[in-house]
Amino acid sequence: MSLLDAYAGLKPSIKAQFPLVLVGPKGWHLKALEAKLQALRHEPIHWLGYVDEDALQTLYASAKAFAYLSVYEGFGLPVLESMACGTPVLVSQAQALTELVGDAGLVAETSNVPAITQALERRLFDDPLWAEHQVKGLALAQGLSWSQAAQAMEA
């Protein structure tokens, strides 16, 4: 919900340039999210639901930024997927995410909506930092793979 509130706080000109695209299947316990989306129905927010791997890769690669503001996360595979597609990330302060991203992305506290809004603006408009995070994210993603994880586990 914090991401939606933060996005709603952006200037209209920013939202017109960068619509918010949400991806993920509809499941249970979503009444609050659906109510929030209904309240923000006039904002440029699009919930695509489930998308297949090819479409997801296209979405990652064509996005200006990827925000993953999970309250609790075990690893953060979507973050790694985004970085592998060259899209810099904004993540929550969940320990697994901050450890994964390191200095290759931006971090915001999930309960601090103004800080998230500010981080979104920075992610979208700080071009030198964006380019730096793109390079670092690609390098980080290349260093992590299923085959490397399996080899390390075997060793």
Q: Which residues contact 7 (CB under 8 A, 6 or more apart)?
A: 15, 20, 43, 45, 117, 120
Task: Sheet with 106-108: list strands edge to edge.
Answer: 66-68, 89-92, 106-108
pLDDT digits (tens, 9 = 90+) for 67-108: 999 887 667 889 999 999 999 999 999 888 998 899 999 999
- The CA distance from 84 to 134, in Å, is 9
Of the chain, the percentage scoring pLDDT greater than 70 comes to 92
- CB-CB neighbours of 48 under 10 Å: 13
The pTM for the full model equals 0.88
